[in-house]
Structure 1
Amino acid sequence: MGVSLEADHQHADVAPFLGGPRTAQPGREPHRRPRRAGHKAEALLEEKRQTARKAVADELRTSSLSHATIAALTPWTEETVRGIAREHGVTPKRKPTVRSIKD
């Protein structure tokens, strides 16, 4: 007893897997609930990400920890931690060692 692909073809929607447009099956409306849940999850993730970035900036501002130390304690690189500090207006712990030749 074999499985007939022809019988299931009318119910299969393989276009999304092949990069084509998604079509609704006859008599069925596409569900909007998963799409809304995805948008809510993305918004929640972005909110948590911004909260974590603000916490890193606050820690840099109030403690004597360096960017490298904070980077070792977080999933971010040292350059990302520096970007977070710049984004939130945290002043560097030490003066720059390189000066412009224009000065």
Structure 2
Amino acid sequence: MDAINDAGFEWVFKLGQVKHDRGLITAFIERWRPETHTFHLPFGEATITLEDVHHILGLRTTGRPFILHGFTTTARQRKDMIRDLLGLTLEQGDVRKNCLRIGWLISNFGN
């Protein structure tokens, strides 16, 4: 859990607890203009910035990025990467559809 917190991804565990207002989300979707990447609201145009994302989700926006741009991996390479980064070896049931199971993270890194 410390490694996940240090990487700035502790907010991922909180997403399941967030209540969503479907009406509000629908209203924003209807007002989104993809050609300008802005919301058209009664008081003018508005957009979401990286700083907004930082404050809303607690996602770190400073430090070195972890980017695999243009990098394609095999299942074996991904398992090796997890072993190298987290120090643990994955078993067959620890992955589902190329994603780590949350249960695996909790059982290995705490709740």
Q: Give TM-score, length-normalised by structure 2.
A: 0.20
- Larger strand share, 1 or 2: 2
- Larger helix share, 1 or 2: 1
Which of the pair has the greater relative contact order for Cα pairs under 8 Å at 6+ separation? 2
Q: Give TM-score, length-normalised by structure 1.
A: 0.21
